[in-house]
Structure 1
Amino acid sequence: MEFFTLVKSRRSVRKYKTEPVSKENILKLLDCANWAPSASNRQPWEFLVVSGAWIKRLSESYRDIVEKFTSNVKIKNIGNIASNKAFLRFASDYGSAPVVVVVLVKKHSDPKEAKADLESASAAMENFVLAAANLGLGTCWMTGPLYDENGLHDILSIQDDKEIVAVTPLGYPEDTPKPVPRKDPNLEKKIIWLE
């Protein structure tokens, strides 16, 4: 797909077919992620590829987070009730995705190094989600599960010297959301030209 079209057509998918994603395609995506730019070319990212019963364990943690969140939200109309139910369904099994990918970096005591590695891993994640869209696969860049990062560390046996940057389900979309309008679509407020 032409790159500019790809960027504008990628969506955050929350409903997946149960059809498996081949290991070959997962490796293609991770290879694209691995080619991301990184601070001082440190390439600090690591990836956990989670499937099977492990997703159920991740989902239990995420569902607890979403239940707490939605119970604290003031519901103003029936649309929000439907949204909350859909959110809970998604959280209960990561939208039925057959794979979940977790992006990790090493923890740093130096905030500048920590920020550089977070930015680098975010670039890798962006490469991953764009490459997935190019193969007709869906993703949903998630940080919500990190509200229970300690729990995820326990579930996935992540070493104490690592932190989670992001989580994404991966699979073939059951449906593709409509585009969400851009805030400031003409970039009149988001760009400052210094000439």
Structure 2
Amino acid sequence: MEFFDLVKKRRSVRKYKVQPVDKEDILKILEAANWAPSAMNWQPWEFIVVSGELLKPLANSFKAVVEKIMYESETFDDEFVKFAAHYGGAPVVIVVLTGASEKSNVRKANLESTSAAMENLVLAATNLGLGTCWMTGPLHDENNLRSILDISPDKEIVAVTPLGYPDEVPEPRPRLDADLKQKVRWLGY
């Protein structure tokens, strides 16, 4: 697929088929993530690929987060709770980590570099006909995630994504400032 078409085709998928994802495809996706640019070429990312029974406690954690947020905001979205309760039925969840650091410049570099890896991950998945949903909401229960997945304190959780074959693909959402008149300043052009 042509790159610009691929970028425009990527969606946040929240409903997946039960069809399993081949380990070889997951490795291709993670290889693409591993080729992301990084500050000082540190390549600070790591990935936890979760499937099977361990998905249940992850989903229970995310569901509790969503219900709490909805309770506090006095809104309720039954479909979003259903999505959270089992990550939309995705057969795989990938948790993306980076090295933790007390130094703000190192932390920022690690987060930015790992976000580049995450972008490669979601684009590679799209290219293989798979869906993802880049999420930080599950991090509202970070202590529980760390416990479930045995994540050491020297790692920072950057994002979580379900991975699977889309059962439903949302329509593209309009871009804010689609013609880039407010988001771009041209200097010296």
User: Do Structure 1 and Structure 2 share a fold, with TM-score over 0.5?
Assistant: yes
Tell me the TM-score normalised to structure 1 length. 0.95
Unpaired runs of 5+ residues, structure 2, are: none
Aligned mate of 1:176, from 155, 169, 172:
169
Distance (whole Å) between structure 1 residues aligned to residue 39 and residue 157 of structure 2: 18
SS at match of 1:181: coil
Paired position in structure 2 for 1:78: none
Matched AA of 1:48: I
Paired position in structure 1 for 2:15: 15
Distance (whole Å) between structure 2 residues aligned to residue 188 and residue 73 of structure 1: 34
Q: CA shift at 1:70, angstroms?
A: 1.1
Distance (whole Å) between structure 2 residues aligned to residue 175 and residue 63 of structure 1: 20
Aligned mate of 1:141, from 118, 134, 146:
134
Distance (whole Å) between structure 1 residues aligned to residue 16 and residue 167 of structure 2: 5
Matched AA of 1:47: F
Paired position in structure 2 for 1:29: 29
Aligned mate of 2:155, from 134, 154, 162:
162
Q: Trace 1:115-126 onto structure 2 (pairs within 5 A).
A: 115-126=108-119
**Do residues 65 (structure 1) and 65 (structure 2) align?**
yes
Distance (whole Å) between structure 2 residues aligned to residue 125 and residue 163 of structure 1: 14
Paired position in structure 2 for 1:5: 5
**Do residues 90 (structure 1) and 90 (structure 2) align?**
no
Q: CA shift at 1:161, angstroms?
A: 1.0
Distance (whole Å) between structure 2 residues aligned to residue 105 and residue 38 of structure 1: 11
Q: CA shift at 1:162, angstroms?
A: 0.8
**Percent identical residues:** 61
CA-to-aligned-CA distance 1:67-112 (integer Å, 9 cap, x gap):
011112244xxxxx5xx11110000000000000001011101000
Distance (whole Å) between structure 1 residues aligned to residue 23 and residue 126 of structure 2: 16
Distance (whole Å) between structure 2 residues aligned to residue 103 and residue 139 of structure 1: 13
Matched AA of 1:149: E
Q: How many residues align?
A: 188
Matched AA of 1:37: P
Paired position in structure 2 for 1:38: 38
Tell me the TM-score normalised to structure 2 length. 0.98
Distance (whole Å) between structure 2 residues aligned to residue 56 and residue 97 of structure 1: 11
Distance (whole Å) between structure 2 residues aligned to residue 35 and residue 116 of structure 1: 16
Report the aligned-residue RMSD.
Answer: 0.8
Paired position in structure 2 for 1:110: 103
Distance (whole Å) between structure 2 residues aligned to residue 10 and residue 106 of structure 1: 27
SS at match of 2:157: strand
Unpaired runs of 5+ residues, structure 1, are: 76-80
